[in-house]
Structure 1
Amino acid sequence: MSKVTLTNMCMIYDRKNHKVLVQERVQSWKGISFPGGHVEDGESLIDSTIREVKEETGLTVSNLEPCGVIYWFNDETGEKYFVFNYRTEVFSGELIHTTHEGNNFWVDIEDLANLNFSPGMEERLAMFLQKEYSEGFGVWNEYRPGQMKFQ
């Protein structure tokens, strides 16, 4: 049986100030991305996203809107890796600026494209910002990093 990994990511948008919350990751997938993490056994996708955002940022989010799925398939091992993407404008709490995952900070939405993103994150922005795509799919293996196709 092939391994399936379920993860999540959430863009938090502060409409009043035209800012989004980003995370400068220092452990895995280094660079700028949105908060998120792994879905635990027995946990719903939305509950896992709410939990991960709380753990990584200190913020409580709600009214999560699905904005696409990323699906990577390893054509040598059969491993499947899914990222369920959400966005929300509903949040409360006090931002934790630094955690073991990295630094969290607000950035003007107009300046978002100028950041040093985690690999492949820049291509995903259209899913979050314009709802341009609902799926990203890519095939990879040990010898080939893979290309993402969006539709």
Structure 2
Amino acid sequence: MGTSDVQAPALTYQLMTMCMIRDGDRVLLLNRPSSKGFPGYIAPGGKVDFPESLTEAAIREVYEETGLRVTDLAFKGVDEYVVPATGFRYIVFNYLATRFEGELLTHPPEGELHWISLDEIDQVPMQPWFRRRFPLFFEPGTFEISIVWDEEKQEPIAEKIKQLG
């Protein structure tokens, strides 16, 4: 059987959002417990529900996870994770919000909410992928992160980070 006879996997996509909320020299982060996956500090975000827009999803997810209504979102970039063996592409659309209203939830569903000073951010536990992405929210322009993943070896095949504009 030739290589042209090998059938490629069907492609699947998952669209996600993440929204960093900045208030002066501090940011609002969730401290996610291990039971929720991705433990440690992370910005609010989640799945894009069909047929909502990417921005609508970011606004909804922030409200559901924090109780805040964000406005004036700035698009900051895309982070994608691609698994060639399975045809899976996970895409996160990242935003920065500096205007919001409302009160923080007293019992947030995804983890404890904390305003963290940017001066102290290196001291809080984060997933390595989020720590890599974190400073890019505050750089001028947009970013693109692309990770191609080897599912069998459980390691990256290729990693690219580009600062655009």
Does the pair score TM above 0.5? Answer: yes
CA displacement at 1:133 relative to structure 2: 5.5
Larger RCO (CA under 8 A, 6+ residues apart): 1
Check whether the contact 1:29–1:119 (CA below 8 A) recurs between aligned residues: no
Q: CA deviation at 1:132?
A: 7.0
Rg larger for: 2
Q: How does 1:7-22 map to 2 (within 5 A)?
A: 7-15=16-24, 18-22=25-29
Superposition TM-score, scaled by structure 1 size: 0.92
- SS of the aligned residue for 2:51 comes to coil
Secondary structure of 2:154's partner? Answer: coil
User: Corresponding residue for 1:145?
Assistant: 155
> Which amino acid counterpart does residue 103 of structure 1 have in structure 2?
E
Q: CA deviation at 1:5?
A: 0.3
* Superposition map of 1:45-64 within 5 A: 45-64=54-73
Count of residue correspondences:
149
* Distance (Å, rounded) in 2 between the aligned partners of 1:136 and 1:25: 23
> Residues 59 and 128 from structure 1, CA distance in 2 versus in 1: closer, same or farther, beyond 3 angstroms?
same
Q: Which letter maps to 1:96?
A: L
Partner of 2:91: 82
Which of 30, 49, 67 is the aligned partner of 1:23? 30
Q: Deviations along 1:57-89, whole A, 9 cap, x unmatched?
A: 000001100111001100110100000000011
C-alpha separation in 1, matches of 2:141 and 2:120 = 19
Runs of 4+ in 1 over 4 A off after TM superposition: none
Q: Structure 2 length normalisation: TM-score?
A: 0.85
- Cα drift, residue 126 of structure 1: 2.3
Unaligned runs of 5+ in 2: 1-9
Instruction: Give CA-to-partner distance per residue, 1:2-21, whole Å, 9 cap, x none.
Output: 11000000110112xx2100
